[in-house]
Structure 1
Amino acid sequence: MITAVSIVTVFVKDIDAAKAFYVDVLGFSEHTDITLGEGYRWCTVRSASQPDLQIQLTVPGPPVPDDMAAAIKRAQDAGNMFGIGVNVDDCRKTYEDLVAKGVEFVQTPQERPYGVEAVARDNSGNWMVLVESKPYSPADFT
């Protein structure tokens, strides 16, 4: 029986630069950074409030087929790669804090039926959705 999600993968352009961004700018902490056989690097970060969930930062490459890795890199270069969604206490304040740190946003904080949402890009072109949640029902979307 599946009991929880423990690892999600985010494709990045450079592991060191991405790790610095996720740790120094976004406030995640480093969890694991080791090199395994044949130069494969396993690097994960995590949130202090959700330590059981690791975000694996990895470059597109083996075992991903070459054509898929190339497509991922094109999506990153265009800034259109989906990344992660994160919960925040105050979307507008978090937006202001991250803008001050140089984070690029593709959407400023906006009211949605489910809360306040903003969309940023990490330093590899991945979208990161910030959501300050509020209670909602399906009727709120009509």
Structure 2
Amino acid sequence: MRIHLTSVFVDDQEKALRFYTDVLGFEKKHDIPMGGEDRWLTVVSPEDPDGTELLLEPDKHPAVKPYTSALAEDGIPAASFAVDDVPAEFDRLRALGVRFTQEPLAMGPVTTAVLDDTCGNLIQVVQGG
């Protein structure tokens, strides 16, 4: 068994697509209209285009906003993405205007940083472990 698909709830799919592709560097995999404004919109790592997909899921269900707001207020990331070098990724993304809620922090064999995806989520980047 392996993870095929996971998701983050986003407040604006088009804005999320721009952030996750233009800023974070993912590639769009699927973009299928689902009625109205909603789309089945996924991105993948360019390093593994047939790997795990991230669904940029609309946050329209009434339970979503209280849930995502509570996570963000408590500083809890909605997802974690592996990178080779957290400090270098921090510098790259900060130069692109990304806001971080946690600068690179070494914790034993792991280094993490946490960024705001501009769509309602905190995202952790992690190296090591």
Instruction: State the TM-score, normalizing by the size of structure 1.
Output: 0.79
Q: What letter corresponds to residue 35 of structure 1 in structure 2?
A: P
- Consecutive unaligned residues in structure 2, runs of 5 or more: none
The CA deviation at 1:80 is 5.0
Matching residue of 1:117: 112
**Corresponding residue SS for 2:84:** coil
Q: Give the Cα–Cα distance (whole angstroms) in 2 for the partners of residues 113 and 77 of structure 1.
A: 25
- Consecutive unaligned residues in structure 1, runs of 5 or more: 135-142
Q: 1:6 to 1:100 in 2, by over 3 A?
A: same
The CA deviation at 1:60 is 1.4
Q: 1:119 to 1:56 in 2, by over 3 A?
A: same
Q: Give the Cα–Cα distance (whole angstroms) in 2 for the partners of residues 119 and 86 of structure 1.
A: 10
Q: What letter corresponds to residue 25 of structure 2 in structure 1?
A: G
- Between Structure 1 and Structure 2, the one with more helix by share is 1
Matched-pair contact (CA < 8 Å) for 2:38–2:58: no
Query: What is the percentage of aligned positions where both structures have the same residue?
Result: 30
Matching residue of 1:24: 22
The CA deviation at 1:121 is 1.1
Q: 1:39 to 1:26 in 2, by over 3 A?
A: closer
Q: 1:79 to 1:103 in 2, by over 3 A?
A: farther
Deviations 1:6-65 (A, max 9, x none): 11110011000000000000000000011125654100001022332000002112xx4x
Q: 1:78 to 1:57 in 2, by over 3 A?
A: same
Q: Give the Cα–Cα distance (whole angstroms) in 1 for the partners of residues 88 and 20 of structure 2.
A: 18
Identify the match of residue 34 of structure 1 among 32, 35, 55: 32
The CA deviation at 1:125 is 2.8
Instruction: State the TM-score, normalizing by the size of structure 2.
Output: 0.86
Deviations 1:77-108 (A, max 9, x none): 85856321111111111100000001110111
Q: Give the Cα–Cα distance (whole angstroms) in 2 for the partners of residues 81 and 132 of structure 1.
A: 18
